[in-house]
Amino acid sequence: MPARASMNRTGRSKLSPPDFLSPRALARANEVRLARAQLKREVAAGRIALARVLAGPPSCAQTAKVRELLLVVPRIGPARADRVLARCRIAYAKTVGGLSDRQRAELVALLGR
């Protein structure tokens, strides 16, 4: 009997999109993912400063997790990213769009050093 690990509770494959998502919504989600991946590559290469991205985030970065973006910065690993988040009092799963003005300002100041 084959394993059911690839099926969710409704019996559909976990890899197939839900029926309620339109092709347009799926295309938009793919555009956002591609734009976010490009942004992360540019931050990792040093062409764009993360502080600049956080100060005025593009639409593709609004739903990105702050920790996820911190981890692409050279010389910032998981431990340092967690320390930065704790110092700025930012939750582990906070998105860039969900940052308060205080959190955004503290993070930009800390990364701008």
Query: Two tokens at 89?
Result: 């009092």
Q: In which domain, by residue range, is 42 found?
A: 23-111
Residue 16 within a domain: no
Residue 18 within a domain: no
In this prediction the pTM is 0.77
The CATH number assigned to the domain holding 64 equals 1.10.8.50
Q: What is the pLDDT of residues 83-104, one digit of tens each?
A: 999 999 999 999 999 999 999 9
The backbone torsions φ and ψ at residue 43, rounded to the nearest 5 degrees and listed phi first, read -65, -45
Angle at 23 between CA 20 and CA 28, to 5 degrees: 105
Which pLDDT score, from 0 to 100, does residue 40 have? Answer: 96
Residue 102 within a domain: yes
Residue 27's H or E segment, with its range, is helix 23-45
Q: What is the pLDDT of residues 21-76, one digit of tens each?
A: 788 888 999 999 999 999 999 999 999 999 999 999 999 999 999 999 999 999 99
Number of domains in the chain: 1
